[in-house]
Structure 1
Amino acid sequence: MLLRRLLISFFFLISSPTFADDSMMFSKLSFPNLEGREVNISEFRGKVVLLNFWATWCPPCVKEMPSMELLRQKYKDQGFEVVAINAGEDTEAVEAFLLERDLTFPIILDKRGVSFMALGIRGLPMSFLLNEEGRSVMTFMGGREWLEPAQTKLIEAELAKINKD
């Protein structure tokens, strides 16, 4: 099993396309949601997106989720979305975890951990703030309290660009 994963990883690394910009890289991410529908990150183009990578066994991931929900509620009417990509777990594990929580943002499942290789994710949680064009404007390593001014100012600056009217 480990050898198979290493071979797949090696093949992925040598065959990965070179992206002209990171918006193409993020738009290539496509995984099923909890209902089994394939969700492509490009579906969120036009919004500012907090793209979060997490796992149920990761204490900092679990700790930051309530503040991510509050962040989504605060800015959702201004063109903001939180999208959480679970890394390497099956549907049953994620659904069991979510039964105890009131989260409304989209959760998609990267069961094979493809995004780790594609994006160079070195640990969890890891988040990317994507602008309305799908380009990363900031990378966050480790857990956060998402309503702290350091984070909200970045988000508000990106939202101001799409809400000029």
Structure 2
Amino acid sequence: MIRKLCLSLTLVAASLSVNAHTLQNKAYHTGEPIPKPMQMTGFIEMQNARIVKDISFTDLKGKEVKISDYRGKLLLLNLWATWCPPCLKEIPALQQLRKDNQGKDIAILSLSIDAEPEIIPAFMQEHGFENFETLTDPTKKVELIMPANVVPATYVFDGAGNLVGFMRGFLHWDDKGVQPYLDQLMAKYAHKTAAQS
């Protein structure tokens, strides 16, 4: 009897610990979700912004880049890999999206999860993407935020670096409904701070 009681108390304590940890990860309630265009159906706008680690990645020149470098902007972090055909289909539209949004409160970053980043420049040249800027994450540090078992995938962060949404899978970034939706996400999230609710 005492043994069962101790086991029950241990399970309750463990449950409370997990719940407390989950609550600590919540930055704020995101409110009413923005209505999505059909093309963005697979995008999940989270009910609660989630506090994540400020992890760093490396660009192809070896410079370190952190999520916190983009405070005050909506950040789209798009995961891709050289072995992923749908990722290649996204690259031209993502390049255009970056150009179209220069000077706005948005940053669009690409992150390769290739285990051998040294192959990326030749790969880019082979496919005509010489001007495509990408970060690298050969050890998959991004998994401290979300799983990296599906590419392409895009994670969205508010201006304070909190995770507010994600999409796993291919997206036609050049669809006419995408830009107006991104504009609404910018208006809602770009200037969030950790203290806002």
TM-score where L is the length of structure 2: 0.64
Contact 2:114–2:138, Cα closer than 8 Å, also in 1:
yes
SS of equivalent residue, structure 1 residue 132: coil
- 1:110 is aligned to 137
| Paired residue total | 145
1:51 aligns with 2:80: no
Of all paired residues, the percent bearing the same amino acid is 27
Q: 2:154 aligns with which of 119, 124, 127?
A: 127
SS of equivalent residue, structure 1 residue 88: coil
Tell which structure's C-alpha radius of gyration is larger: 2
The Cα of 1:104 is off from its aligned counterpart by 4.8
Distance 1:64 1:72 in 2: 12
TM-score where L is the length of structure 1: 0.75
- 2:95 is aligned to 69
Q: Which amino acid aligns with 2:25?
A: A
SS of equivalent residue, structure 1 residue 50: strand
Q: Which amino acid aligns with 1:51?
A: L
What do you get for the CA RMSD once the two structures are aligned?
2.4
The Cα of 1:145 is off from its aligned counterpart by 1.3
Flag the structure with higher helix content: 1
Distance 1:46 1:23 in 2: 16
Q: How does 1:90-105 map to 2 (within 5 A)?
A: 90-99=116-125, 100-105=128-133
Distance 2:143 2:65 in 1: 17
Deviations 1:40-62 (A, max 9, x none): 11101111121011101100111
Q: Structure 1 segments of 4 or more deviating over 4 A?
A: none
Distance 2:56 2:50 in 1: 13
The Cα of 1:23 is off from its aligned counterpart by 5.6
- 1:148 is aligned to 175
Contact 2:74–2:159, Cα closer than 8 Å, also in 1:
yes
The Cα of 1:102 is off from its aligned counterpart by 4.3
- 1:160 is aligned to 187
Contact 2:77–2:109, Cα closer than 8 Å, also in 1:
yes
- 2:58 is aligned to 32
